[in-house]
Amino acid sequence: MNTDTLFTKPISKQFEFDAEVAAVFDDMLSRSVPFYKESQALTRHFAVNALQKGGIAYDLGCSTASQLLEIERSVGKNGTVKLIGIDNSHAMIEHARKKVEVYGSSIELVEGDILSFPYEKARVIISNYTLQFIRPLQREGLIRTIADALEEGGVFIFSEKVVSDDPKLNKELIDCYYDFKKTQGYSEYEIMQKREALENVLIPYTMNENILMAKNNGFKTCDVLFRWANFATFIAVK
């Protein structure tokens, strides 16, 4: 796993999931997202529960396919479960394909747009830190598309960076997160550089806004599975 040193030099563009990011993405996630492995494990647990009788599971913005590989290890290759990863980044899909090949996996990978993808009826749809990169004007429409693509009783499991309505608390959450990143070996300069690169690219909602967005667009319930400061994992049931 390559080490993330992307922001040790001055940035020249906004953040994008290009070849440079793809090459270090697994390290970036493990060091940038608090309790990432734990939230992945929770996602896997509830996804596997929903797939007990088979069905399709999509991972939207699947990046290097780590989450789908973990789910496949749990459900096995029994032919009743179909795992599909979608990402619009060519570099990410190429890295994912290499991993899938190495592990002899049957995961299907598609380089495509999650906003216009022709989904089959699914039992599970996963979105790990992907919605926050969808423009707000398109976000609710995507949630409706996800709900329409799920079978009755199907689950949508998604993780997101969240903000607080209270400015003072929001600043404290950000400070807490930056302290976490420093413990992971990131310098003040790297933290500042990445923050600038993500400005107006990553647009987070509050926890309640995420829950209401799900409930207003086809889901009968939405709850929080896990939260650490300004990171949260949600489950919505159709």
Among residues 58, 55, 77, 78, which one has the least CA distance to residue 68?
58
Fold observed for domain 16-237: Rossmann fold (3.40.50)
When computed from its CA atoms, the radius of gyration of the chain, rounded to whole angstroms, is 17
- Ordered by start, the domain boundaries in the chain are 16-237
Kindly state the average pLDDT of the residues 47-73.
Answer: 96
Describe the chain by its helix, strand, coil percentages, rounded to 5.
45, 25, 30
| Structure-token pair, residue 168 | 């003072």
| 184 vs 94, higher pLDDT | 94
pLDDT grade for 182, boundaries at 50, 70 and 90:
confident
pLDDT grade for 19, boundaries at 50, 70 and 90:
low
Q: Which amino acid appears at position 82 of this protein?
A: K
Mean pLDDT computed over every residue of the chain: 88
Kindly state the average pLDDT of the residues 2-14.
Answer: 50
Going by C-beta distance under 8 Å and a sequence separation of 6 or more, which residues neighbour residue 219? 143, 147, 156, 236, 237, 238
The rounded percent of the chain whose pLDDT value lies above 70 is: 83
- Predicted confidence at residue 200, as pLDDT, reads 67
Kindly state the average pLDDT of the residues 171-194.
Answer: 82
- Predicted confidence at residue 5, as pLDDT, reads 46
Q: Which amino acid appears at position 131 of this protein?
A: L
- Predicted confidence at residue 25, as pLDDT, reads 57
